[in-house]
Chains A and B, each alone.
Chain A
């Protein structure tokens, strides 16, 4: 980031913005891969309850930034805090943050529904309270309950992974191109669900290439550019 100071998002009147503190604060973040600098001195602040869409061409560092926010990647310089604390690998952090930044994974031998039950039970929630049915209906995967994830198409797998992320409680969602591989109707349903999540007090940081989608979600755009531009 040559200007180095992409600062915050627009204040969101409805969210109470900074009054609730920052869900994510990135200060002077620098990430290099070998001799290539991908992110150079980036500043970003995401108020609690806000929704931010990172945009920009391939390779500008959107996924890298999301990985740094979730603590899955060590930055070369600068600092990241999530709800005032540095991202860490402990259960306290991962019970607040849900992400689809990592490469998708699942357990062989468990059906789609059993995965969702597992996520719900492991997070101390009731798998029979209707939440799973609601999310499955929203994402159009109700009929896939008995399928094994390995047999799903790429679009169905994306819906399944989003469902697994949505059925667990979280305060911050970090999503990497959630609209990827989804058809138009599914994108609309996803946008509606994310709006509900925000209305319930959640915060959303995502990377997206679909302007209409992040407009539908009501996100503030933060455009990233190549470091050497």
Chain B
């Protein structure tokens, strides 16, 4: 029989909790033995030897080429990506086991959360410092004084820590979090737009005084860094008052990411991310689009999905400018960006297909066959991918690297990308293959590799006329309308192959 006791008036002492945690971890995974330490150190040394020099050149090139727009845009995008990673991971989280057993227990919250906060602050310092150093490495005249290096690292670290504080603040306040995500997205899109503008106008150098002198940065960082560190300490001090549900929620999300890495199943991440998004999505009112029956039901569903995730469309508009940026670069890069970009645009509504593929219960309720589902679920992705292709190749055309009706070629490739996106949405890494590839580092399941190229192979085949045109008909060659026609025919053929298979007419599901 379960007995009840009055709860303890004082929580467990932090020292006891730490000791207990250490014992539990030792019991679970064993003590760290010298051979493990040796292996880790050896791996670090080998990584430094192998990748240190090329990475060092990226951060600190031999000669300063001068400050340029791509350098500033690149630095800004790296910092925004870091903020995005922190937002996705928490950043203040505990392991799933700790979230289950220790978070609801009367133990000091600060004891549990200190490692995560420390890791966040440390990684922010390192990332920010490296970004600062990379900018200085391109801007500072050689020889470089130590003051410049210190100013760059301190300035970068301060910005990194500010971003970490922003992510921590956003974690406890969902409304602020949404605003932070939105502003970061807009800032990233603006940076890409600046890079595209610079590319389209033939390149220009930013004003020489866009960055203040090293001495000013040093003084500013000297003042700001202690304040930021004090803010981090203040956050640490207030960790005890953090709401449990926020920590539990982000810990669960991070646990799913860990599952995805452990099981090598990337679709876990998108599923978790999707659940998280919709759980917090507010302000949705029932639309009459389905009830009015003006469009087929699954087309209406896709349209509602697109309307309710407007941020994705902004991202797509941003990525549509990428081909213009690399139009003068290697042709394989341009082809890769066009194919992957079109696939990503067509995948905007892939969530429902992925959900149906993993559990077709809803489709059985709808009583729709493969063919009916495919026919309806191709419409919106084909339209979005066609628009993306038209903008992407049209923008590349504006750089004079391409000549002729390239926008029409992009438009014609839309349905091909939609077919590929449908294939991709249906399949998870684990369903693709369980054949293990032996590598010196151990066996590796083939599913992930196949998943990475899944869909890209289909769009590469169905988009072959576009690929050939990108290789053979770049300016000064003029793209012929026959290439557009062949692409349109191949896109239609791809859709028909999908729709006219005998099996698709008889079975409910996807």
Residues of A within 8 A of B (CB): 89-91, 93-95, 98-99, 102-111, 113-114, 117-119, 121-123, 127-128, 145-146, 148, 150-151, 164-165, 168
Contacts and interface: CB of A to CB of B under 8 A. Distances in A.
B279 A105 contact: no
B238 interface: no
Contacts of A119: 365-366
A164 B508 CA distance: 17
Interface residues of B, number: 37
Nearest to A90: B506
Interface of chain B: mostly helix, strand, loop or mixed: helix
Interface string B498-510: 0000000011110
A90 B507 contact: yes
A148 B281 contact: yes
A48 to B, nearest CB: 20
Given A108-B278, A122-B367, A103 B359 contact: yes
Interface string B461-501: 00000000000000000000000000000000000000000
B362 A107 contact: yes
Given A105-B355, A123-B366, A123-B367, A118 B290 contact: yes
Interface stretch (B51-59, B301-309, B416-424): B301-309
Interface of B: 274-275, 277-279, 281, 284-287, 290-291, 293, 297-298, 300-301, 304-305, 308-309, 351-352, 355, 359, 361-362, 364-369, 506-509
Contact of A111 (B279, B286, B300, B366): B286
Interface centre among B293, B362, B367 (most CB of A within 10 A): B367
B361 A103 contact: yes
B361 A105 contact: yes
Contacts, number: 102
B248 to A, nearest CB: 17
Contacts of B361: 102-105
B286 A150 contact: no
Contacts of B278: 108-109, 148, 150
A191 to B, nearest CB: 22
Contacts of A104: 361
A105 B362 contact: yes
A1 B369 CA distance: 36
B337 to A, nearest CB: 28
A193 to B, nearest CB: 17
26 contacts: A89-B509, A90-B369, A90-B506, A90-B508, A91-B369, A94-B508, A102-B361, A107-B351, A107-B352, A107-B355, A108-B278, A109-B281, A109-B309, A111-B286, A113-B286, A121-B297, A122-B366, A123-B366, A123-B367, A146-B284, A146-B285, A146-B286, A148-B278, A150-B279, A165-B365, A168-B367
